[in-house]
Amino acid sequence: MDFTYDSEQKALRDAVRGLLTKAYDSARRRDVVSDEPGFDSGVWAQLAEMGVLGLPFAEADGGMGAGPVEVGLVAEEIGRVLAPEPFVEAVVVAGGLVADLGTAEQKAAILAPLSDGTLIPVLAHTEPGGRWEPVARAVTAREDAGTWRLTGTKEPVAHGARADLLVVSAATPAGTGLFVVDPTVDGVTRTGYALHDGGRAAQVVLDGAVGTPLGAADVDRTGDLEVAQARAIIIRGQEAVGAMQVALDTTTAYLTTRKQFGVTLNKFQALTFRAADMYVSLELARSIASWALLVLDSGADPREAAARTGFQIGRAGHHIGQEAIQLHGGIAMTAEYSVGHYMSHLTALEHALGDRRFHLGRLAASVGDHGTVDPLA
């Protein structure tokens, strides 16, 4: 049982932190997200140069062969400055699926250029009317004379307009399949837009667009998608921890400097107690998120750990995000000040991968299957 980073991990964290804190202060981030593509291509290239974009992939596939702990610490640094780069979308989710399921040719064609920063793949899964289940309904794929064609709408697709490649889930006779789609081919229409937190998403309309099955054809990928989502929830948990830590730090710094009634705000116990409660929420969430990362690292099925993380992080994100704004007062309502953006992003994180109710529902459905929950078992 050890929750500390080794020296190589610390070096990686310091390098990523150095890069990202130099790239993003609050003003710089606002500039970057107000322009297309919504992130900084230069930062993306630097991340590639540091090997960050290939972290989880096998060396044979052009990656670094690192594990979830390294990926998680990058996500935490991203969360600390709300870096808008699509690291989780491209590397963890889409890249992860390709690494899990792709043929040798697909891995070679996708993972190496992803690692060197020249290709951004994303998963197009969410559909209007759908929630967070790992099933496709609205988009269908049919095989005709050896060619698969996809039809239907995906929305919102994170970074869907900028992406160089789409991994699309679609209903097939065998269940939910996954297809690699080149977004520049006929039958793909993409309409991109900015999100409340500065992120990017798109509507992707497929109208007989040609796709290639990811890995073997005619396989139901529901379980694989669910594992990929679980992995994303756990990595996003680290990102949320980074964001919550900074939201709390910003709040406590403000309380010790802002004066009203002739004293700094930290003289008011009604406020300091609420900050203490934010700290409790953060530490409990951090504990679960770190544990989940280690479950992922151990190679065990990550789904339960993901639900536990999703619930705890969702709850803490609400608490810390809301209180960070309230304890600041009006200043936090301004787009110029940083803290409101943290709440905005935490809210987006939660709704990308399952909200508190969704995860709690899963946990409640299986609560009778065990006596106690033993993290060391």
Partner 1 sequence: MRLQLSPEDAAFREEMRTFFTTQVPQGIRDAVAERRELSKEQIVEAQRVLNAAGLAVPHWPAEWGGKGWTQLQKHLWHEEMLQACVPPPLSFNTNMVGPVIATFGSDELKERFLAPTANLDIWWSQGFSEPDAGSDLASLRTSAVRDGDEWVVNGQKTWTTLGQYGDWIFCLVRTDPDAPKRQQGISFLLIDMTSPGVTVRPIELIDGGVEVNEVWFEDVRVPADQLVGEENKGWTYAKFLLGNERVGVAPVASTKRLLAQAKERAQEKLADGSTLLEDPLLAARFAELENEVLALELTALRVAANSAGDKPHPASSVLKLKGTELQQAVTEIVVDVAGPASLASGAPDGSDVPHWARVATPQYLNYRKASIYGGSNEVQRSIIASSILGL
Interacting residues toward partner 1 by CB under 8 A:
1-5, 9, 69, 248, 252, 255-256, 266, 269, 272-273, 275-277, 279-280, 283-285, 287-288, 290-291, 293-295, 297-298, 308, 311-312, 360-361, 363-365, 367-368, 371-373, 375-376
Of 16 and 166, the one with the shorter C-beta distance to partner 1 is 16
How far is Cα 369 from Cα 352, in angstroms, rounded to an integer? Answer: 28
CB of 365 to partner 1, least distance (A): 7
CB 29 within 8 A of CB 89: no
How far is Cα 339 from Cα 321, in angstroms, rounded to an integer? Answer: 8
Distances (CA, A) of 277 to 11, 161, 242, 286: 32, 40, 17, 14
CB of 325 to partner 1, least distance (A): 17
CB of 60 to partner 1, least distance (A): 25
How far is Cα 50 from Cα 117, in angstroms, rounded to an integer? Answer: 11
163: nearest Cα among 123, 128, 196, 130: 123
Which tokens go with 268?
């008011």
Of 34 and 366, the one with the shorter C-beta distance to partner 1 is 366
Of 103 and 266, the one with the shorter C-beta distance to partner 1 is 266
Of 145 and 270, the one with the shorter C-beta distance to partner 1 is 270
Exposure of 318 by Cβ count < 10 A (0-12 exposed, 13-18 middle, 19+ buried)? Answer: middle
Of 136 and 285, the one with the shorter C-beta distance to partner 1 is 285
The conformation of residue 218, written as its DSSP 8-state character, comes to S
Q: Which helix (H) or strand (E) holds 312?
A: helix 303-328
Exposure of 237 by Cβ count < 10 A (0-12 exposed, 13-18 middle, 19+ buried)? Answer: buried
How far is Cα 265 from Cα 269, in angstroms, rounded to an integer? Answer: 9
CB of 317 to partner 1, least distance (A): 14
Of 148 and 254, the one with the shorter C-beta distance to partner 1 is 254
- A 10 A CB-CB count for 243 gives 25
